[in-house]
Structures are given as structure tokens and as C-alpha cells.
Structure 1
Amino acid sequence: MKKVSFKTKLLAIVVAIICVTIFTAYTSANFYISRYIHQNDSQVIRTQIDSIRSVVEGKLKDNIVLAQSTKFSFYEVKQAIEKTGFKDAIKVAFGMTINRDGAIKDPKEAQPYMDIFKQANGELTISDVFIDDGKPTITITVPENKDSGNIFYIDLSSVGDLLSSMSVDGSYLELMDDKQTLIFSNEVEGHDLTPLTAKINVAGKEWTLTGYIDNDYIQNDTDTLNGSITIALVIAAIILIPIAILLINWVFKPILLLRNLIGDLANGNGDLTHRLKVDSKDELGMIADGINQFIENLQNMMRQVRESTETISQEIAQLEQQTDSNSKLLQSHSQEIELTVTAVNEMSSTASVVAENAANTASQTEATNSEAEHSKEVVERAVAQVGALAEEVEETAQFIADMNTHTEEIGKLLGEIGGIAEQTNLLALNAAIEAARAGDQGRGFAVVADEVRALASRTHRSTEDIVKMLERLKAGTATVVSSMESTRNSCRTTEESTAVVVSSLDRVTSSVNEINDLSIQIATSAEEQSSVTEDINRSMVAIREVMHTINDNGDNTSETTRRLITINQQLLEIVNEFKIE
């Protein structure tokens, strides 16, 4: 579907409004003008009918009065006709009828006049209209007495001439008597006519005067007038449409500037330093001012985003360095923990040997007690074994002391790891705050910052767990050291006792018993040492697993940092697409 511009739509609307206005004006003119002309002609016809009625009534009354006042003798008929202007006059007297030519001899010719006189019955009488010589005519009978009177013939053609002269264009007149005898009519057949009637009183008879309005004539006049109006409207439209186009083009210029500016911003190549010129305070001016404020706010936001991304870049670089340092430290700690686990395993083996030796010592002391004669030899072997045991106990104590030192060093390193995790957490929190300031553009960066902060929190918690385990390990080691110290003292005592046994065999029995007791204590201590060593071994294995987890978290932190660098670079590229300064 072809795209139609707003300007074209606006022009189309203006042209449509002008066309609708012309059509409405034409329709309204056709209706109201036709109505006005019809009403006006109707009023004219009514006025004309009233005038004609008055004229006709007056004319007929004048004829009647003239007929009543006209007196003439048998010999003055012709003079009476000439004097009154009537069509004809007949004198009826004592059975005779006289016209302008004299007495009428023929009875048949005279009889109609006699009948008219008799029908008058001594009163003034006006006959119905009849046609005489092709002209409408009436008779007025004026009796003078019972046997004589005058009959006047009045030609109504003059009334027709009067009606014809009073007719106007677009209207017709028609006059009939009370018997519907046509006196005058200029009506044209085949036309759409609207009748208006009036009654004329003629000596007690009601004649009908009808005026006709020619609707076709009115429509022709209306069409002619409407045509003139339409031509004027079309001319006005021809003038107004170019003017409207020019005005729309003039008004549309700010909209075009606004469209170009918004288009540049939408394409990502907008100049945020550019502002629309506001020359008016109308709606377009308000829109332009609003766009300027929006661009200014957008410019400030982009400037802040750029500054924030630069700060974030620095923080990310620092975070990357710290992450690398943490990774190296974790690798070093992992190696040391592996060595510690190996040493603890060896210590466990040594404790087992000690327990076994203690058991052997107990057996030998029992044998010495049963074989007194060989006590000296057995005691000498016991002295040698106790010396070896003392040396082993001394070595074990030294090894445990070294392990305790390593444990403290591990605690210090874990403290540094916890501090690094807290610092990483703070950096991730700062990154999340800067991403929140960046709005929608920093949403992805905020997610990554949250992940970094979560990893830092996990690292901190894991470090705390390791510290707790090391505390328990130190406590166990202290117990082992104490036990080893007791064992060493016991060995020294055994040596001294054995020396006394060598010098005094009499006290062999009691010395052997003491050795037996000491051997039992050594076995018990060795078993306790073995149990503690196993606990230390399990703790060190757990520490090793935690260190592996911390190492993995460090790798994840490094990967997250690299993703943050990529996202921050993309954000910088988006901001750089706009001209801010």
C-alpha cells in the first residue's frame, strides 16, 4: 500500500472541505431559493388574485350600476348602447322587443328576450355566462315595471383582457362562473402547476378566480440562479485551493523541520546540539519547544551516560586486575592445600604406626613380666624402642606445629580473599548504581553487575566457612600437640625408668608394670591422634573442595568482567553515535 504523507492528507481534506462546501451551497441554494421563489410567487399570485377580484367585482358592479341607471325609450336603444359601451341592449315593453335596429318582428327571434325578461320576475337579474360570437357574455335584466324593462348584453372579453394584462411570468389565471363556464384562461398544458383560488361575488353568484404557479418556470429560474452561484463558488474554489496550498506549505515548514530532526534522532545520527527555532506560541511552537526540551534532556542524559561508562571502564579495569590477582592467589593456596592434605595423610599413617608400636610395647612388657630372667635384655630393647618412639613423637609434634603454622597462613590468605570479595561486591554495587543511572541503555550492564555481586557474596561466604573449618583444625591440632607433648614426656619417663630397671633388677616388676601402664596410655593417645588426624584430613579435603569452588568463582568473575567490558564498549558506541558537544 502506497504511503500517503500527512501534508497530502491535509491538502486532500482542505479540497474535500471546499468541494463539500460547494455541494452544500448548491444544495442549500437549490432548496432555499426554490422555496423562496415559490413562496414569493405564491404571495404575488395571492396579491394579484385579490387585486383582480377587486377589479373584476368593481367592474361588474359598475356595469350593473350603469345598467340600472341607464334609461332609454324605444327610439334610444342605439344611443344607450353607444353611451354605456355595452355589447348590446334590448328594450322589452308590453310584449314588444326593440334592439338597435328597431322592433324585432320575428317572434322566434324575440322569444328568447321575452323569456329572459319573464325569468327576471320583476327583479334585477344577471344571467349565467354564455358564449356569444365566440366571446363570453352575460346579460343584466333591469325591470322598469311589470310589463317593461331593459336587457343589457355585457362582453366579458374586457375582463379577460384585464386578466391577461395582469398576468406575470411563471403564473397563469383562470376565471369561471358558478356553473364552471370558462370565462378566461391562459393556462398552459403539460406544466407542473400549483393552483390558488379565490371567490368573486357577482350579484349573489360566486365566480371562481384561480391563479396557477408554474413550478417548472420557478425551477428554471432556480437552476439559472444556482448555476450562477455554482460558477461563483467554483471560481472561489479555484482561487481558494491554490491559496490554501500556499498557506499549508507555509504552515507545514516547521513540521518538516520537526520531522527531519526526529528522523535523524530515530536513525541514531542525531545532532543533540541542534535546536528547533521557535517563532510562535501556537501548538506547533509548543511542540517545537517541547522537542527542544526533550533533546536537551537527552543530551544531558547521554553526557551522563558517557561519563558513567568512562567511570565504569576504569572500575572494570581495576576489577579485572583484582580478579587476576585473586586467581593467582587461589591457585597458590590450592597447591599449598594439596601439600597439607598429603602431609595430614602421612601424619595419619604415622599415628597408626605409633598405635601399633604401643600395642607391641604392651605385649613385650607382659612378656618381660612373665620372663623375669630375660628382663634386662627385654628392658634394653624397650629402652631402644622407647627412644625411637620419643624421636617419632618429637618429629610428629614438630610436623603438627608446622601444620598449625600453615593453617594460620591459610587463615591469613582467606582473610585477604574475603577482603577481595568484599571489595568486588562494592565494585559490583557501584557498577549497578551507574547502570541504573544509564537507564534502558545500562539494563544489560546492571544484570551483569548483579551477577558479579552475587559471585562476590558467594566467595565471601565460602571464605568464612573455610575460616571456621581452619579454626576447628587449629583447635584439633592444639589437642594433638598437647597429647604428643604428654607422649614425649611419657617416653622420657620410660627411659629414666628403664635406666633404673637396668641398674636395679629388683624393681623390674614394678617398672614393667609402670611401662605397661605407659604403653596403654601411648596406645590410647595414638588412637586419639589417629582420630584427630582423620578429622583434620576430612577438613583439609573440604578446604580443598572450597578452594576449587573459589577458583571456579574467580574464573566466572573473570568471564563476567570480560562481558562487562564488551557491554560497556557497546554502550559507548551507542552514545558516540549522537553529537553531544
Structure 2
Amino acid sequence: MFRWLSNCFCNIRINAKLSIGFGLILLLTVVIAATGWYSTHSIISRSDKISQISNINSLISSLGTQYAQYQRHHSQPAATALFQTLDTIEAQHLQLASLLTAPEERQLLTEQQRIIKDYRAHLSRIGESFANRDAEFTTLDSTIGLASKQLNDAVNDIVRASENAQQNVINLQAIRQLFQSIQQLMLQVHDFDYTNEAQKGRGALEGIDSIVHAVDNILGASHGEPQPNLQRAAQTLAQYNQHLQRFAHEVASSEAAGKQLFEASAQLDALNQQLIDYQATKRAGDVRSAQRMIVVSLIVAIVLGVLAAWFITRQIVQPLLQTLALAERIASGDLSQDIVVDRQDEMGQLQRSMQRMVVNLRNLVGNISSSVKQIAGAAERLSNVATQTSSGIHTQKSETEQVASAMNEMVATVQEVARNAQQAQRAALVADQQACAGEDVVGQVIEQIERQAIETGKSTAAMSRLKEQSDKIGTVLDVIRSVAMQTNLLALNAAIEAARAGDSGRGFAVVADEVRSLAQRTQQSTEEIEELIISLQDGTAHVVSVMETSRALTASSVDLTRQAGSSLEEITRTVSTIQQMNLQIATAAEQQALVAHDINRSVLSVRDITQRTASASDHTASSSVELANLGKQLEHIVKQFQT
């Protein structure tokens, strides 16, 4: 395949090849640009989806704020704003559904739409609950106001009554307490309406129960006396109790629905976050895919560009190098090689022209070849003669230099041999005397050091015995210290017994004190002796250590002295070697006589070589004449070249 492609490109002109190469590079650049545009478009589309999902997330977050306002004010505009936000979210879902294609995304979007429908249903129920709750709260206010009016009327009835004044006073005090309880109840109800706390609702219900119970107690204490306003107040408070229970139920219902709304809002937020995470993951995947596509496109472009450049360069440079090599061979005089040209481009035309030039030069050189052969024969003979002449001359020179060098070396060697022989003889005698004296001294040193080692060993043994005796003294001191301590204790016991005996034991107590004092001084003296003995033992141990070290050094000195004796023996043997070398010097003198004979033979050889050089010079003259004639013929042939 490559050979076929190469053959096809061989016949294309160079400008067409360059156009193809640059066109391929431009095409690859367009491919890389298209890949980058497609990748960028995909990333931008994914970012638009994330932006739209984020908008939905902002709307979902605003639902909580709007519901808090609606819960606080129970106003229709707040409810309308909530439903409008839900409508906006559903519209955004419809727009987003047209952009999302993955099944996972559409499933999350469908789940969000279902939760929004549930959110709308819960919000409708909360609206109904808020309406019922507000109506009940209004009824509670009017009912409690009616009950207060009826209690005031009951107070007026009790004031106007003239019978049973004491009971009337008790009833008035109870009704006054009822007014205080009603005021506290109204505060609890308002607080319950504001906070929606179940505990405060239970407190309000317990308060109304206690008020109704108090009214019943007042009616029971009237002993059958008619109290129409008080009875109507009791009925009104009973109705208030019922409305309060329904109000508490509506509060609980709205709170439960509100919790469902918050749960639905949290689910919407979680699903929306999953959509954002999914889109972010997809965007990251798109970025990685875009990077891979761009890198792959770039690598392919680089590879194809390099291959195209290499191929086109090969199509141009390789034949150019072949042509250059052919020109170099022609310049160096090599006309034996032909080139086969099968190209039709400019490089093929150049190679064919070079081939025609090679053929013409080869024919021209062939005509010169016969004449050059004759010249070569004459030149060869002349060269042989010249070589013989030069060799003879160089040999003569070398032999002459050898004669001079040999004569100088012989004279210097003889003189040096004489001096060395005298010095060697004197050195041998001195070395022999010194070696003998050294052996005697070394023997005396060895005996002296060995005696010193024996005395050092005796000193070490004596110091060891001294240390053992010091240790025994320490043992005796321990016994003395123990006896002194026992004596001290006995004296102390005796003093105690004498003190018990009173006046009769006073003299014995004096003796006991003296004994104890003596025992204490004995103990102190024993401790001082012990310190001295410890110091003596430390000194003895140090001396023993030093003696051991000295004995080791003495043993080392004995070894070194014996080594010195061995060295002296080596010196003695070296002196014998020197005497043998004197014999070798005499032998060398005999060899110098033989060198003189060699010099004589070299001189004779120089004479013979000179004769052969004269004969070779005659042959060189005749060969030179023939070479001159052939040079004229070669000059005539060379005139055919144009310069």
C-alpha cells in the first residue's frame, strides 16, 4: 500500500505535493475547530439546564417565605402569591421537560410535578383550615364578650338582691375572680392563635373548663334562687368551650398540613438538588469528553500532519539526496554507478540529466584509461626504485645513529658500573657490621623487658592480695559496727530501766550513759575507718588496673622487639643479596664487550647499503625519461576537457 502510494506521488509535481500537504493541515485544523465548537455547545446547553433548574430551586425556596407570611397573616394576597409561585414552577417544569431527555432526569421531574400537585392540595386544605380557624376565632371573641356582659348583668342582679347578703358577697368575689380568669383566658387564646403551640391550646382549654366549673359552683351555692343572667353566662361559656375546642382542632389541622407542606418543600428541594447534581455530573462528563475529543483530534491532527510532512519531505528530500550523492561521487571521481530514474517530476528530470553527464564522463575517462595505464607502469617502476633508494638511505642513517648511541651508552655504563661496584662494596661492609650490633642490642632489650614483665606480674599479685585484705578489714568493721549498735541499744535499755528504778538506779544510769556515749564514739570511729578503707580499696583497684595495663604494654613491647630482631635478620639477608648483585655487575661488563662487536658489524652494513643506493640511482634516471614521454601523451588527451 505504501509503495503504491509512493509510486503515485512520484509522478506528481512538487507544487501539487505541497498543496496537498497544506490542504491536509487546513482540513485537520477545521476538524479540531468543529470538535471544540461541538464540545462548547454541549457544555453551554448543560449549563443552561443547570441555570433553569437553579431558577426552579429559587422558586421552591421562596415558597417557604411566602407560606410563613401566609401563616402569620392568613391573608388572601399571600395565598394568591403562593399559588402564583406554584404556577410559575409548573411552567418552568414544562419548559425544562422539553430540554431533559435522560430517563433519570425525566423521572425526577415527574416526581417533582407530583409533589407540587400534593403541595397545591395541602395548601388548599390549609386555606380552608385558616378560614375556619379565623371564623372560630371571631366567634370566640364575640362569645367571650357576650359572656362578660352576662356576668356583669349577674353582678347587678346580686347587688340588687337584699336577701342572704353574706352569700351575695361570696358570689360577687367569685364572679370577680371569674373576670380575672376570663381576661387570662383571652390572653392565652390570643397567644395560642399567634404561636400555634399545642401546649398553650391545652392551657386555654383547661382555663375555660375551670371557668365553667366556677360558674356551676356559684349556681350551686345559690340554693335555688333564680340567677337567669348567671345561667345564660354559663350556657354562653359552655358554647365558648365548644368553639375553643373546634378552634384548637383547626389549629392542629393547619399545623399538620403545614408540616406536610414543609415536607413537600423539602422533597422538592432534594429532588431539585438531585437534578442539579445530575446535570453537574453530566456537565463534568461533557467537559471530560470534550477534552478527550479535542486531545484525540489534536493527536490525530499532529500524527497526520507529521506523517504528511514526513511523506512529502521524503518524496522531495530522498531523490534530492540521491542526486546530491551522485554529484559527490562524480566530484570524487567515481563514475562506476548508474541510477535508474522512474519519476516524472522535476527531481526525475534532474536525475536523468545527472545520469547523462555520468555516461559522457565515463566515455571520456575510458579514452584516457589506456594512456594512464602506460604511465602507471613507468611510474610504478620509478616508485620501486625510489622506494629502495629511500629505504637504503633511512637504514644507513639508522645504523649510524645506533653506532653513536651504542658507543655513548657503553662508556657511560662502564663508568657507572665502576662507581656502583665500589659503593656497593662499602655499603655491604657497613650494613653487615650494623646488623650484627643490632642483633646483640635487641637480644639485651628482650631479656630486660621480660624481667620487667615478671616484676610487673609480681606487683599486680601483691596489689590483688592487698585488695583482698582490705575487703576482710571491711568485714571486721561491719562486725564492730554491729556490736557498737547493739551496745548502744543495751545502754539505752539500761538507762530506761535505771530511770524506772528511781534514786536507787541513778548510779547505774550514769554508767549506762557513759557506755552509750562510748558505743556512739565507737560507731563514729568505725564509720571513719570504713571511709578510709573504701578510699584505700578504690586506690588499690586503680593501681591494679594500671598494673594490668602496664603488663599488657610490656607484653606488646616484647612482641615489637622480637619483630625488630626479625627485621635485622632480613637486613642480614639483604646484605648477602647485595654481594650477589656485585657478581652480576661483573657479568654486565662482559656483555658490554659483545656490544662493541655489534657496532663493528653495523659499520660494515652501512658500507654495503651505500653501494646499493648508487646502483638504484641509475635506474631512477632511465625511468624518469620514459615517464616524461608518457606525460606528453596524457597532456594531449586531457585537452579534450573544457575548463
Q: TM-score, normalised by structure 1?
A: 0.31
Higher RCO, Cα 8 Å, sep 6+: 2
More strand by share: 1
Q: TM-score, normalised by structure 2?
A: 0.28
